[in-house]
Amino acid sequence: MSKKAKEQHPEVRRIRRINEYFHLVSQTAEFRNRVCWRGARELLEAKGVAVDGVILIACSSVDEIHAEFVLPDGSAVECDFKEDPTYRQAVAIAFWRVLPRRVGADDEFGLAEETVRTPKLRQAFDRAVRAFYDFHWRGTDEPLPVLKLEP
C-alpha cells in the first residue's frame, strides 16, 4: 500500500477514488470511441491488443502522442504514437514500454488493474464508458480537421 493511502482519511480516499474512476471512464470513453483515436486503436489492434478492454490512464501531446494504458491482461504500458500532421491520426508506435507491476498500488493504475481483473467491475466500467461517450461525444464526434501545412 502506498504511503499516500496510509495517511489519508477514509472519506478523503473514497472521494479521491471516485474522482480517479471518473477520470478513467472519461479518458477511456474517448480512446475507445472517438474518431481522433482511430489510428491509435488500429495500431494497438495490430499489436494484438483488444482495444475494447483497454483503459487509458493518461495522455499528452507535443510532437508525439504519449499515452499510458492498462491492457486487458492487467499489464501497464506507456507508448508514444507518431502522428500524421496532415490527417492528425496516429500512424506508428515510436516507443513502447511495459511498466513494472506495482502490486497494491492505490492510484489510477491500481484501480484500472483491479477493474480489468474483476469481471463484474470490468462489465460495470464498460457500461459507464459507453454511457459517457453516448452522453458527451456521440452527437458531436467528428474527424479532426485536416491541417493546411505551409510549404
pLDDT tens for 58-72 read: 999 888 999 999 999
pLDDT digits (tens, 9 = 90+) for 78-99: 999 999 888 888 999 999 999 9
Strand partners, 97: 78
pLDDT digits (tens, 9 = 90+) for 102-136: 777 889 999 999 999 999 999 999 999 999 999 99
- Structural domain boundaries in the chain: 6-136
Distance CA(132)–CA(6), nearest Å, equals 32
Distance CA(2)–CA(8), nearest Å, equals 10
Distance CA(128)–CA(140), nearest Å, equals 19
Return the percent helix, strand and coil in the chain, to nearest 5: 50, 20, 30
Q: Could you give the angle at the alpha carbon of 132 between the alpha carbons of 70 and 45, nearest 5°?
A: 40
In this structure, what are the phi and psi dihedrals at residue 12, rounded to the nearest 5 degrees?
Answer: -65, -45
pLDDT digits (tens, 9 = 90+) for 11-70: 998 999 999 999 999 999 999 999 999 999 999 999 999 999 999 999 998 889 999 999
Q: Could you report how far apart the first and last alpha carbons of the chain are, in Å? A: 54
Residue 40, classed as helix, strand or coil, is helix
pTM > 0.85: yes
Sign of CA dihedral 45, 47, 50, 55: negative
